[in-house]
Structure 1
Amino acid sequence: MDIDAEMRRKIVVSIVSVGAFFALFVGIGATYGPDLGETGGLVLVGAIVLFILVMAAVGVFLDE
């Protein structure tokens, strides 16, 4: 089964987006420690919202 160039591009963009999200989570954990506290919790929720918005933008970009 051959994967065409457009499908490879979609796969790479998706993997990079999820990898960046994972790195952001690790960074938040390293900054705020195991007990996130109130501020860390808000940052974590903000990161999740940012991830949703970025993935929506990536979906629109890849749909073109």
Structure 2
Amino acid sequence: MEIDAEMRRKIAVSVGAVGVFIALVVTVGSQYTTDHHLTEPGGYALVGIVALFVVLMALVGLFLDRS
């Protein structure tokens, strides 16, 4: 099965968005921990990151669908 240029672009954009999500989660996890426990602001930051990821993936889907 060959992967055409459009599918490669979709895969790259999706993997990039997931990579940004993972980088943000790791950053918050390393910055907002005390004795291996997540602090309250860190929990709020993680909730914000998940919400941002949902919106980002929706926008990526719209972008890929229209192009």
Shorter chain as denominator, the TM-score bin is over 0.9
Q: Residue 53 of structure 2 corresponds to which residue in structure 1?
A: 51
Identity %: 56
Shift of 1:38: 1.2
TM-score of the pair, normalised by structure 2: 0.91
Higher-helix-fraction structure? 1
Q: Please state which structure has a larger fraction of its residues in strand.
A: 2
Q: Structure 2 residue aligned with 1:38, among 27, 30, 40?
A: 40
RMSD: 0.7
Aligned residues: 64
Gap regions ≥5 residues in structure 1: none
Counterpart Cα distance in 1 of 2:61 and 2:16? 13
Q: Which amino acid aligns with 1:59?
A: G
Shift of 1:62: 0.4
Runs of 4+ in 1 over 2 A off after TM superposition: none
Task: Give ranges in structure 2 of 5+ residues lacking alignment.
Answer: none
Higher relative contact order by CA 8 Å / sep ≥ 6: 1 or 2? 1
